[in-house]
Chain A
Amino acid sequence: MSEVQGIPLFPEPLRFLLRPLPLFPLRLALNRVVARFAAERPAIFRRLGSHAEKVYLIDAVDLPFIFRLRPSAERPSIDLCRRAVSGARLGPWDARIAGPLAALLGMIHGSFDGDALFFSRDIVVEGDTEAVLALRNALDDAEIDLLSEAARLLGPAGGVVERVGRGVLSEAGRLTGVSLVRAES
C-alpha cells in the first residue's frame, strides 16, 4: 500500500499465477487492441505529434511483465517482456513510467491525476519528460475505457460481455479501490 494515496498493490498470489502465462497470445491480443485504437482515434496522434514514434516502457511494478509501447500512427506496437529479463533485452527506450498497476489504471481511466501521483511518488518517471507529458495528456483526453476496448475484440458477443463485465468490474473496483473501468463524472 502506498502511504500517500493508498494505492493498492496487485495481490501476490495472483501475481504468482500470472508469472507462467505464455506471452505470445497476450502480445497478439494487445497488438490488436492497439492497432484498432490507432485506426479509430486519430486525435490521439495529433496530440502526441513526434512523440508518437518514441518508445515507452510502461512498468506496472506489481506485475511480472513490463510493457514496451510505440504508439506510432502508422505502425503502433506493444510488446511485453518478463520482469526477469535483463535491461539489454528490453531494448532502447525513450521514457519509463513505473508504478503500481492500480495507479496506472487510475490514470488511464481518469480516476487519478498523474501529477499528484508523481508528487506523492506513487509513480516514477524516467527519461524523456516531454514524451511522458505528451502521452499522459493524449491518453487523458482520449477517455479510454479498457473494458470497452477489450470487449470489441470479441465481435458481436462483445456487447453482452461488456454489460456483464462492467457491473462486475465496477463492484470489484469499489471493493478493492482499483479503477477497473473508466471513471464517470
Chain B
Amino acid sequence: MEGRREGARLELVCPAGTPAALRAAVEAGADCVYCGFRDETNARNFPGLNFSPEELAESIDYAHERGARVLVAINTFPRAGAEEIWHRAVDTAAQLRADAVILADMGLLAYTAERHPDLRRHLSVQAAAANAQAIEFYVEAFGVRRVVLPRVLTVQEIAAINAAVSCETEVFVFGGLCVMAEGRCALSSYATGKSPNMHGVCSPASHVRYQEEDGELVSRLGNFTIDRVPAGEPAPYPTLCKGCFSAGGKRGHVFEDPVSLDAATLLPQLAEAGVTALKIEGRQRSRSYTQAVVASFRRAVDAQAEGRAIPAGELRRLSEGQTTTAGAYRKTWR
C-alpha cells in the first residue's frame, strides 16, 4: 500500500498559471506546484496564461533549488488525429525533469507508461475516478501513483477509498467548486462549442459577456443569459452550472450555488481519512491570490500537523461569489 505514511505532514499542492505565480507559490510554502503548457493540452487553456517549454524549464529549476516539486497537468483528452500534440507535451515534461504529469486520458496514460516509465503519473480529477475499483484499474494498468479525487465525495467515502486502494490520494481543499462528473460535463460545450475536456476551457472568455442593463449586472455565455444581479451583490460567475434560472415556477441556482470550496477546518478529518495531498484550485487566478491562499494553507497544514487550532475563514474575500462552503465533504445533498 502506497497511501500516506502514518503521521506524515499533508502535502500542499498549489496552482500556478504563470512563472510569477509559481515563484509566489514556492515562496509562500508550496510543497508542489502544478501548471500547464500554453496550449489545449491542459484544462486551464485561458488567454495570457500558462508556460512555454522555456519558461517551464526555468520554473522547474527555480522550484527544485528551493525544495519544491513541479507537476505538469496534461489533462485534456487528445483529439483523434492530433494525439501528437499531447504526446509532445508529455515528452517535453519528461525532458524538463518534471516531478510528475497529471493525466486523464487512458491512451495518454498508456503512452506515458510505455515511453517514460520513470515519469511519475498522477490521475487527474478530469478522469472522474470516484471509487476504489476504478482507481485500482488505473494503478494496475498504467502505474498511476496518485489519484486526484472528484469534488463529490464525502470524507467517509474518501476514507473508504483510501482503505481499499494502493496509491496516494489528493483532494481539493480550496477554490472553484465543480460538482459535475469532471471530464464528462458538456454544459460549456453545449453553450459555446468549447469544453474543458477537449479544448481546456470551461466557459471560454471569448463567449463571456458582462453588461450593465437597467441597474443590473447581466452575465451571458454565448446566447444564454446566466444571471442578473442588482447593485451591491457579488458579480455572477460566468458558468452555466452556477447560473440562476427559472424552473418549475421557482427562480434559483438550479445546479449549484456560486460559492467556493474552503475545507481548511476539515484538515484533521482528511488526514484521518488517509489523504496524502491537498490541492488548491486556481491556476487562472493572480499571483496575489496564489500567495494569499498558499500562505494561509501553509499555516493551516502546519497547525494541523502540530495539533494546533486551524485558522478559518480568512480567505472569503478571494472566493467566487465571496462565499465559501465545505462542499461535498459535509454533504447534505446527492
Contacts and interface: CB of A to CB of B under 8 A. Distances in A.
A63 interface: no
B177 to A, nearest CB: 14
A118 B285 CA distance: 12
Interface residues on B, range: 35 or more
B234 interface: yes
B324 interface: no
Contacts of B308: none
B43 to A, nearest CB: 16
A140 B21 contact: yes
Contacts of B18: 47, 137, 140-141
Contacts of A5: 317
Interface in B204-236: 204-206, 208-212, 217, 231-235
A185 B286 contact: no
Contacts of A151: none
B289 A113 contact: yes
Given A119-B234, A121-B217, A4 B285 contact: no
B210 A110 contact: no
Contacts of A41: none
Interface string A61-103: 0000000000000000000000000000000000000000000
B20 A141 contact: yes
Contacts of A131: 47
A146 interface: no
A46 B285 CA distance: 19
Interface string B36-80: 000000000011110010010000000000000000000000000
Given A118-B235, A121-B235, A136 B48 contact: yes
Nearest to B233: A121
B291 interface: yes
Given A4-B317, A4-B322, A119-B322, A113 B286 contact: yes
B268 interface: no
Nearest first, the 8 closest Cβ-Cβ pairs linking A and B are A137-B48, A141-B18, A134-B47, A134-B48, A130-B205, A113-B289, A129-B208, A129-B205
Interface of B: 17-21, 23-24, 27-28, 46-49, 52, 55, 204-206, 208-212, 217, 231-235, 237-238, 284-289, 291-292, 317-322
Interface of A: 3-5, 43, 46-49, 51, 106-107, 110-116, 118-121, 124-126, 129-138, 140-143, 183, 185
